Each structure stands twice: as C-alpha cells, then as structure tokens.
Amino acid sequence: MTRLFGTDGVRGLANRTLTADLALRLGAAAAAVLAAEADPARAGGASTGSARPLAVVGRDPRVSGEMLEAALSAGLASQGVDVLLVGELPTPAVAHLTAQHGAALGAMISASHNAMPDNGIKFFAAGGHKLGDHIEDAIESALTDDPITGPTGDAIGRIRRAPSADALDGYVRHLLTSTPGRLDGLVVVVDCANGAASEAAPRAYREAGARVIEIHAAPDGYNINHECGSTHLGAVQAAVREHDADLGLAHDGDADRCLAVDADGNVVDGDQIMAILALAMRDAGELAEDTLVATVMSNLGLKVAMRAAGIEIAETKVGDRYVLERLRDGGYSLGGEQSGHLVLPGHATTGDGLLTGLRIMARMAETGRSLAELAGVMTVLPQILVNVPVDDKAAVAASGSVAEAVAQEEGALGATGRVLLRPSGTEQLVRVMVEAQDPALAREVAERLAGVVAAV
C-alpha cells in the first residue's frame, strides 16, 4: 500500500488526488489521533469533561484552499475539535499560532513551491512541531471509508474565523522579537511568490526598519508560484538591479523557504545563507555546540568553510524532517537545506523564510558588510546532478560494480571532490551527484557513473 504522507504532509493534484472527501476524512482521523496525543484521557473517544481541544488551520492563497479548508475543518469539528481559521498565513505562522494558542494540533493547507493546481495538507502536533512517522502512520490507520460518526449535541466542535489582523499581528511581533537588531538603511526587494508571504513579509521587513520593494505580492488564487518566488529568481534579480537595492529575498508559496540575491543580482543559496547565519550565531554565542546541521546534498564548499571557521557539521539525509530530528536530538540551534529551508529551533519549530530573511539583513546591518561579502565566506564548488532512470533502485544500491566505481572515482577526486548516489524517494530514478573544483571534471565523473548505474 502506498504511504499517504510524503516528506512534507499529504500532497497532490487538488480535487483529483487531494479531494474534499479525503480532506474531510483526514481531518477526522487527525482529530482522533492528535487530540488523544495532547490529552491521553481522550484516547478511544473518551471525554475528559474539559474544554474541547483546539485546532489552528491556515492556508496559502491558491483557489483550492478554500474548498479544502472547509472540508478539513468539518472533519475536525465532527470529532469534537474546535477550529480556529487563521486565513492566509505562512506555514511557520500557523506552527507558531498552534503553540501560542495551546492548540492540540495545527494544519496548513499548502503545496509550498508546487504549481497552483496542486495542494497539500500538513499537520502540526501540540507546540507547533512537525509529526513523527509513527503519528503519521497512526493517522493513516485511523482513516476510514465508512461514514464519519462522532459526538452529538454540545460536544460537536465549533468553527470560527480569527480576525486576520490578530493572527498576523501575533506572528509579526514574534518575528521582530526574534531579530537581533534594526535594519534601518537597508533596501530590500522581496518576491512574495503571490503566496502566503504577500502581506506578512513586506510588513515584517518594514517594521524591522528596512525600505521594502515588494513584487509578486498580489495573490488572486491562481498566480501563486507562477514564474516568481524562490523557484524563479529572474524577477527578483532584475528588480534588485533596477532599484539599486542592497539585496533581494525570494520566498516560496507558503514562505517556509528563503533564497537571496546580492546587490549585483548573484544568487545566494541556502548553503551560503547557512554559512552566514552560522558565523553570526557563533559570534553571538547562539550556535549550540558550534555545530550546524545540514543534509548530504549541501555543497562541499560549505563543509570547507565551516571547518575553517571551527564549526562542525552534523549531516542528515535529505528532507527538512531529518534536519528537524537532528536539531532536536542534538540540541543544536541552526540547520537547513540548500533549497533555502532553514530552521532556528530557538525561535521557530519549523523552517521560516521570513525569519531567515530578517536574520540575513540583521547580519548585514550589524557588520556593515554587503551580502556578497558575507556570502564570500564559502566558495560554491561546481555540483553536477544526473538523474538516471532505473528499473530497480534496490538493485543499484546492492550492486558491487556501482560501489566499486564510486570508490574509484572518489579516490581520484580526493579531498577536492565528492560523489553521492541517492535513490529518488518518489520516482524510479537514481540521482548521481558529483562535486569537484573543475566543472568539466565533475561532469565527466557524473556521466561515467551514470553509465555504470544504467547498466545494472
């Protein structure tokens, strides 16, 4: 049976894969599992006699979110959970409000950086934390095709809509208290991806002191992520040059990511942002154990730069959930991915693109240095990625010829390069990634290894 939950919630084509019926049943199942997690006395539908548990539900602006919000909320209320609808807000805002309101669970309706026709539902446990595999498995087990039944009378949950200003105000206040200094004098272009950041990001950056030029901040339900945001950086690069800005920031549809461009329009990716923030936090005494958490896909240049700065890197598998797990398990204070998904557990329970943007600008303001200067702490090594279609990913992983070829190429590259073979989590592909100082050499090695993989 195919697992319903992916690496970041349940996601698919809205009204085909992710239907209103599925959202209804997911709401009921999540209510049963997460309400019991928050209050074990409720397990098995038992009533504690106390107030009904609360769920905080937010969404991004895509048109299908209205339909899914209604269905998900009905499922939650059918199981005796009160629902607070907080409207169009970034994913990290929903996580923050889940904790702030003492809710038993939270839910964000968003497909992040995906195109408008897709949508998704991601849940948060009490405290605004992402779900572990065992909780997701429990929710899947609780799903049923049978008619949904639940309490009656005054035990049925109520659904109310929070004043949009109240929800946004609370989140922006939280961001400002998590920013170490004022941003006065900085000029920033922010690409809001016509998504959940469209109101929150310009407001937060302005209130922190920056002069803000916003683009793609007029969502209409259909234009989210369309040729804009963190997956299409051309617009923010052009706007930075046009307005002679100090930097540009680009968010994705639900604003849990942030990529940057410097004053010349050069891209500053998640690895470079992690390097900047790691040094800032080390200097401020905030970098726990002088350790940064990063995935195996982070550029080798990040490791070289951090080693030179006396900072350790704790490495994880690809996926923000693995970064979060390592942060929690090790008590670390900064982690992230090359995609611009950064987590600062002292201030947020999940990736927060707006917090990342504020922290980048705070470092610029504190040091008086340009973003290009700060990003220059690491040299990005050429990274070649080849996707190889295969019939059996497990056979490739077990292949002696593949292992031998990888070892041979790694030996030849030495300390100046790296090889990584990784099966895709969603497709019959093996991803061959090679880093080397010479891009031509990296491509030659990647193509040789791709040939060995394809022959298995």
Same domain, 189 and 337: yes
Catalytic status, residue 112: yes
Same domain, 273 and 413: no
Boundary (domain end) residue, out of 140, 162, 184: 162
Q: How far apart are CA 22 and CA 39, in angstroms?
A: 25
Tell me the angle at which helices 133-142 and 20-38 cross, rounded to the nearest 10 degrees.
Answer: 120
**Structural domain harbouring 273:** 170-375
Same domain, 73 and 141: yes
- Band of residue 24 on the pLDDT scale cut at 50, 70, 90: very high
Q: What's the pLDDT score for residue 321?
A: 84
The two structure tokens encoding residue 251: 């968010």
Exposed/middle/buried for residue 62 (C-beta within 10 Å: 0-12, 13-18, 19+): buried
Same domain, 80 and 190: no
Boundary (domain end) residue, out of 329, 359, 375: 375
Measured from the Cβ of residue 367, the count of other Cβ atoms closer than 10 Å reads 14
- What is the 8-class DSSP label of residue 313? E
| Per-residue CA distances from 434 to 38, 274, 414, 421 (Å) | 45, 21, 12, 9
Q: Which of 227, 38, 10 is nearest to 140 (CA)?
A: 10
Boundary (domain end) residue, out of 162, 178, 203: 162
Same domain, 209 and 71: no
For 198-216, write each residue's pLDDT tens digit. 999 999 999 999 999 999 9
**pLDDT at residue 38 greater than cutoff 90:** no
**What residue numbers does the annotated binding site cover?**
112, 252, 254, 256
Count of domains forming the chain? 3
Question: Is residue 257 a contact partner of residue 340, using CB atoms and an 8 Å limit?
Answer: yes
Q: How far apart are CA 346 and CA 349, in angstroms?
A: 8
Same domain, 396 and 361: no
CATH number for 182: 3.40.120.10
Residue 4, in any domain of the structure: no
Same domain, 154 and 187: no
Q: Which residues of 183-205 are buried (b: 16+ CB within 10 A; e: fewer)?
A: beebbbbbbbbbbbbbbbbbbbb
Same domain, 113 and 208: no
Same domain, 204 and 331: yes
Residue 447, in any domain of the structure: yes
The percentage of the chain sitting over the pLDDT mark of 70, rounded to a whole number, equals 96
Q: What's the pLDDT score for residue 1?
A: 52
Q: How far apart are CA 446 and CA 444, in angstroms?
A: 6
- Band of residue 10 on the pLDDT scale cut at 50, 70, 90: very high
Q: Which of 112, 198, 230, 298 is catalytic?
A: 112
Q: Up-side HSE of residue 338: CA atoms within 13 Å toward CB?
A: 15
Residue 136's φ and ψ, nearest 5 degrees, are -60, -40
Residue 2, in any domain of the structure: no
Same domain, 179 and 213: yes
Exposed/middle/buried for residue 243 (C-beta within 10 Å: 0-12, 13-18, 19+): middle
**What residue numbers does the annotated binding site for Mg(2+) cover?**
112, 252, 254, 256
Q: Which of 266, 230, 221, 271 is nearest to 249 (CA)?
A: 230
Q: How far apart are CA 107 and CA 131, in angstroms?
A: 11
- Band of residue 48 on the pLDDT scale cut at 50, 70, 90: very low
Residue 234, in any domain of the structure: yes
Residue 104, in any domain of the structure: yes
Residue 5, in any domain of the structure: no
Same domain, 190 and 308: yes
Q: Strand pairing of 187-191 and 211-215?
A: parallel
Mean pLDDT of the chain: 93
**pLDDT at residue 177 greater than cutoff 90:** yes
Same domain, 105 and 236: no
Helix (H) or strand (E) holding 109: strand 105-109
- Band of residue 47 on the pLDDT scale cut at 50, 70, 90: very low
Q: Strand pairing of 342-343 and 383-389?
A: unpaired
